[in-house]
Amino acid sequence: MNWQTSMAKGFNDPEKLLTFLGHDPEKARLDANALFRTRVPQHFVNKMRYGDLHCPLLRQVLPIGQELEEKPEFILDPLQEKRFNHLPGLLHKYQGRVLITLAGSCAVNCRYCFRRHFSYKENQINLAQWQKILDYIKSNLSIEEVIFSGGDPLMVKTERLAHYMECLQDIPHIHTLRFHTRMPIVLPERIDKTFIELMAKISRKVVMVMHANHPQELCDDTLVVFDALRKNNVTLLNQSVLLCGVNDNVETLKSLSKKLFSQGVLPYYLHLPDEVAGTAHFDVSIERAKQIYLDLQAQLPGYLVPKLVKEIPGQKSKTRL
């Protein structure tokens, strides 16, 4: 079975998901599904705890009634990304790096996603737009790194990715290509032989920033995939979001860092959630976040402590707390 088929077989009906995990969907309030559709691959569901409604993996993907409660400070575009959207599909916000929203969707829909209200329709890349993006990068000698994001950039077929890589490798001032992806965690089949072969061919530094929030997301399959990537010169990092009810305690974060390291991945960022409409129930206050972080620092070697950051519009980088 290829990865597209596995993905198509995932869950998009929250009632079926609950039934599969041994819950009674009658008791749940799932109307938030209409705001942002449920989507989760079977592989990720297999890592959830059967019969546990508080499973930290389930909480990340299950639409719940609390999403419909309006909170004035939780808005549609807290990062004001529109300001940096110089071309469709391109965000140039920080010096030396541009971010390209390659794909309009992901294999999983995370309920806390800061891009859940992002206009992917306006940002889908066609060939003419890709040419404009290339021209922009070519004429900006200060850009050294291109970040593929989305959505999930690995939703794009490997052949298309290969084309993008080839174009970028022709630009002398581009040193690094970076992917921000949750695919290896939620659909490890995506990292197939063709994809690994593509990584092996790239003549630039390649960085892949995974997105795992909880140690339970790492398994034997992720280990195999990470090994294959590392053996083909991909540097592996991980970013997490600090999420109430998922990983907002020292024990979980400590165990996540250790497990990532045991699988060859270094923790990079721990993001405070952005104030996005529909996600208030995931919020962790800055004071609590700092306390958890101090405890984490006291218990881990420095290289296993991710940087605690928040995205504040108008800053020159993500802001360290």
Ligand X SMILES: *Cc1c(COP(=O)(O)O)cnc(C)c1O
Closest approach, Cβ 147 to ligand X, in A, equals: 5
287 CB-near residues (< 8 Å, 6+ apart): none
CB of 256 to ligand X, least distance (A): 19
Q: Judged by CB under 6 A, does residue 317 bind ligand X? A: yes
Q: How far is the CB of 241 from ligand SF4 (least distance, A)?
A: 7
What distance in Å separates the CA atoms of residue 265 and residue 11, rounded to the nearest whole number? 28
> Which of ligand X, ligand SF4, none lies near 308, with the C-beta cut-off 5 to 8 A by kind?
none
Q: Report the partner that residue 291 touches, choosing among ligand SF4, ligand X, none (CB closer than 5 to 8 A by kind).
A: none
Please name which of 3, 56, 16 lies closest in space to residue 243, comparing C-alpha atoms.
56
- Binds 243, which of ligand X, ligand SF4, none (CB < 5 to 8 A, cut-off by type)? none
Nearer to ligand SF4, 103 or 250 (CB): 103
Q: Which of ligand SF4, ligand X, none binds 190 (CB below 5-8 Å, type-dependent)?
A: none
Q: Which is nearer to ligand X, 145 or 189 (CB)?
A: 145
Residues facing residue 208 across a β-bridge? 179, 236
Does 136 interact with ligand X (rule: CB under 6 A)? no
| Closest by Cα among 64, 55, 112, 63 to 246 | 55
When the beta carbons of 147 and 210 are compared against ligand X, the nearer one is 147
Which residues of the chain form contacts with ligand SF4 (CB under 6 A)? 106, 108-110, 113, 115, 150-152, 182, 211
Per CB under 6 A, 318 contacts ligand X: yes
- From ligand X, ligand SF4, none, interface partner of 18 (C-beta below 5 to 8 A by class): none
Q: Tell me which of ligand X, ligand SF4, none is bound by residue 108, counting a contact when its beta carbon lies within the kind-specific cut-off of 5 to 8 angstroms.
A: ligand SF4
Phi, psi of 69, rounded to the nearest 5 degrees: -75, 125
Tokens of 293: 């972080």
Sheet with 176-180: strands ordered across: 90-94, 97-101, 145-149, 176-180, 205-211, 234-241, 266-271, 307-310, 319-320
Buried b / exposed e across 11-46, counting CB within 10 Å, b at 16+? beebbebbeebebeeeebebebbeebebbbbebbbe
Any residues with CB less than 8 A from the CB of 262 and at least 6 apart, and which?
A: none
Q: Which two tokens stand for residue 192?
A: 């197939």
Q: How far apart are CA 38 and CA 17, in angstroms?
A: 9
| Contacts (Cβ under 8 Å, ≥6 apart) of 29 | 64, 65
- Positions in 68-107 near ligand X (CB under 6 A): 91, 93-94, 97, 99
CB 266 within 8 A of CB 227: no
| Residue 297 C-beta: closest distance to ligand SF4, Å | 25
Q: How far is the CB of 234 from ligand X (least distance, A)?
A: 16
Site pattern 144..173 for ligand X (x: CB under 6 A): ---x--------------------------
Q: Select the binding partner of residue 317 from ligand SF4, ligand X, none (C-beta < 5 to 8 A, by kind).
A: ligand X
Q: Which residues bind ligand X (CB under 6 A)?
A: 91, 93-94, 97, 99, 147, 317-318
